[in-house]
Amino acid sequence: MKTTKVLFFTLLIAVMATMPQGAMSQVTIGADQPPQSFSVLELISNSTRGLRLPQLKENQRNALQTQIEGSAAATKDLARGLTIYNSTRNCVQYWNGSDWIDAGICGVVIPSVDFPKTPGCPGSDPKPVTWMTYNLGAATSATIGTTTYDLTTPKGQMKWLADKAANGGGVDFTDATVYGDLYQWGRQTDGHEKRNSTVSSVYAYQLGNDVYSNGDGTGQIINSTLKDQFIKNNTHPWDWQKVASSFSDFWGNGRVIYSYPTKDISSGVITYGTTEPSSGTPGVDFTYIDDGGNPYTSVISPNPAATRYYQQPKRTDYDPCPAGWRVPTQDEWETLGDYCDPSTADGYFYTSSNNNSVVTTVGAGTATVPTRNPNLVWVTVANGLPDASSWSAATSSLKVGGYALYDKTEWDNADADYNANGTKPLYDVAAPVPLLFLPAAGGRRDENGAFLGVGSFGSYWSSTVNLEISYYLYFDTTSIYPRESGQRASGLSVRCVAD
C-alpha cells in the first residue's frame, strides 16, 4: 500500500511538472478532462468512491485546536475553514476561527419528540412541533467515574445532574454538559455563546460601526478580536448591536402581530383593527371572531384577549441550530403552556394551586397540567425527585432542578405506582418516561455577562420579536411563563425545533 501511494504521488508530480504554468493552478483527479474555470481542484468519482477527510478523534482535534490557538495571529486567521471528520462524534466539523462548527447534523439522528399544537389557539398551525431533546451546546454523553450517561435522553440528563450534585456538590456555572450554551438573541454561533467566553471590555454603544457586518453598527460581529466575546450593554435598548434594529429577522420571522377582528352583526362586515372597537356593544353590534371568521368563544365575557397572528417561521443563515432545525417561535413555546387561553390574563401558569392549571400530588411534589394543553404534564424536578423546594443555585452543597414534561395518559397510568414509591428518582422508574427535560440552566446578564439563576431558573429564547425586545420561555420553582420578554444582549438557552 505504501509503495502504491508513493508511485501515485510521484506520477502526479511528474504530470503536473509537464503542465503549462496556467494549468498547474487547477487540477482534476479521477478523469481526463480539464477542471471548470471556477475550480482549483475537482475530484471526479466513478460512482463507487468518495472523498475521505482526515479522521480525528475528539482529543486529537482538541490537540490541533491548541496548536492553532498557539499560532501567531496571521496564521490563526489562515486556519479558518480547516475541515476534519470527527470520528468520536461521527460528523464533519470546520474551524471558524474560534470554535469547531458542526457541518450539518453530528451523528445519525438528533433525538427528538413531537408535541401536538395546543388545541384552540387562534392563529395556530395545527402541525405538531418536533423538539430536540437536549439544549443547544450541551453534550450528548458524559461520564462520572465509571458511569456513562446518555445525555440525549431526559432521564440521562436528570441522572447526570443528580449524580453531579451528589458527587461534586453541584454543577459549575460554566459547565455546559447538560445546561448547554447561552446565546445573545440573534447572534450566530461564533464562540460568544460559550459559558466561559470573554465579556467585552466596553459596551456595545462604544464600539465602532465597522465591528459589525453591515458597517453601520448593525449586523453580525466581524471583528476578529470581538466576534467570540459576549458583547455587554447597559443602556436602552440593551442590544449587543451598536444600533438596535426593530423587528429583527436574524433568527427568522416568527414576529407576533396583534389584531382585534370583529364581525358586524347586521352587515356581516369583518374588520381587522389593531385596537379594540371604539364604539358599539359586543354581542349586540358586533361579535369577536377568530382567524377563521367564526365567533370567538371565551370564558371571559364579552371581551376576549387579542387574537394573535404569527408569520410563518423561517430558518435564517444566522440561526444557531443545526441544519434542518431552527429556534422556536413564541407560539411554539406556548403550545407547551397556557398563554393563548383567554382565562389566563397574565400568561403564567403555576405549579401551586390556581385556576389556570390542574395541580396533582406526585410523590413528594406536584405536577401541573396546563389547561390549554391537557395532554401534557409539567413536573418539578430536583436531583431526579419531584420536589421543587430543593431547587436553588448550583453552588457547593446545593441541588439543581428543572421541569420534566410527560404525556398525561402515561403519567396517569404510572401515577399510582409512583406515589407508592415516592422517594424513588424519576430517572430510575420504568414509567412514566419523560418526553422532554428543561434544565434550570440560568442565563447571563446583559450589562456585564455575569451568571444569573444557574440551577434555579430557566430562560429559553424564541425567534419572536416585538420592536426592540425578544420573547422567551421563563420558569422557576413556582411558575412557568411562555411569553416573557427581555433584552437581546442577555445570554439565554436555546432548544431547537425541526424546520
Check whether residue 266 and residue 293 sit in a common domain: yes
Please give the C-alpha separations between residue 455 and each of 178, 284, 383, 490, 495, in angstroms, as whole numbers: 11, 52, 11, 17, 17
User: 349 and 262 in one domain?
Assistant: no
Averaged pLDDT score across all residues of the chain? 75
Residue 326 has pLDDT above 80, yes or no: yes
Judgement on whether residues 240 and 384 belong to the same structural domain of the protein: yes
The last residue of one of the domains, among 295, 310, 325, is 310
Mark which of 282, 310, 338 sits at the end of a domain: 310
CB neighbour class for 454 (10 Å; exposed up to 12, middle 13-18, buried from 19): buried
Q: Same domain, yes or no, for 74 and 19?
A: no
pLDDT digits (tens, 9 = 90+) for 110-134: 677 776 554 445 444 446 788 999 9
Strand partners, 455: none
Cα 28 to Cα 7: distance, rounded to the nearest angstrom: 18
Residue 48 within a domain: no
Residue 351 has pLDDT above 80, yes or no: no
Same domain assignment for residues 11 and 128: no
Decide which of 310, 340, 356 is a domain's last residue: 310
Taking the mean position of all CA atoms in its chain, how far away is CA 403?
A: 16
pLDDT in tens, 223-251: 989 999 999 999 988 999 998 776 578 88
Q: Is residue 63 part of a domain?
A: yes
Tell me, yes or no, whether 420 and 328 share the same domain: yes
Confidence class of residue 53 from pLDDT cuts 50, 70 and 90? confident
Residue 197 lies in a domain: yes
Residue 50 lies in a domain: no
255 or 345, which is more confident? 255
- Please tell me the least confidently modeled range out of 172-186, 289-303, 355-369, 485-499: 289-303
Question: Of the given ranges (47-51, 207-211, 253-257, 404-408), which has the lowest mean pLDDT?
Answer: 253-257
User: φ, ψ for residue 408 (rounded to 5)?
Assistant: -60, -45
Flag whether 298 is in a domain.
yes
In a domain, 162, yes or no: yes
pLDDT of residue 410: 79
Model confidence pTM above 0.95: no
Identify the domain containing residue 92 by its residue range.
55-102
Residues 234, 268 within the same domain: no
State how many domains the chain has.
4
Instruction: For 136-193, write each residue's pLDDT tens digit.
Output: 999 999 998 899 999 999 999 989 988 887 776 567 788 899 999 999 999 999 999 9
Q: Looking at the structure, tell me whether residues 32 and 119 fall in a common domain.
A: no
The percentage of the chain sitting over the pLDDT mark of 90, rounded to a whole number, equals 22
Question: What pLDDT was estimated at residue 77?
Answer: 74
Distance of CA 246 to the CA centre of its chain: 22
Q: What is the pLDDT of residue 423?
A: 61
Least confident range of 44-48, 87-91, 273-277, 361-365:
361-365
For residue range 380-432, what is the model confidence (pLDDT) as tens digits? 777 666 654 445 444 434 456 888 888 877 777 776 555 555 567 778 878 78
Do 423 and 409 have their domain in common? Answer: yes
Are 297 and 331 members of one domain? no
All three cell numbers of 366: 406536584
Tell whether the model's pLDDT for residue 325 goes beyond 90: no
For residue 407, what are the contacts with CB-CB under 8 A and spacing of at least 6?
375, 376, 377, 432, 435
Residue 436 C-alpha cell reads as 422532554
Give the integer Cα–Cα distance in Å for 418 and 51: 53
What percent of the chain shows pLDDT beyond 70? 67
* 53, 90, 140, 145, 296 from 148: Cα distances, Å: 29, 18, 11, 8, 52
Residue with cell 438557552: 493
Q: Do residues 273 and 401 share a domain?
A: no
**Higher model confidence: residue 61 or residue 351?**
61
Task: State the Cα angle at 54 between 48 and 59, rounded to 5°.
Answer: 140
Same domain, 16 and 28: yes
- pLDDT higher for 65 or 298? 65
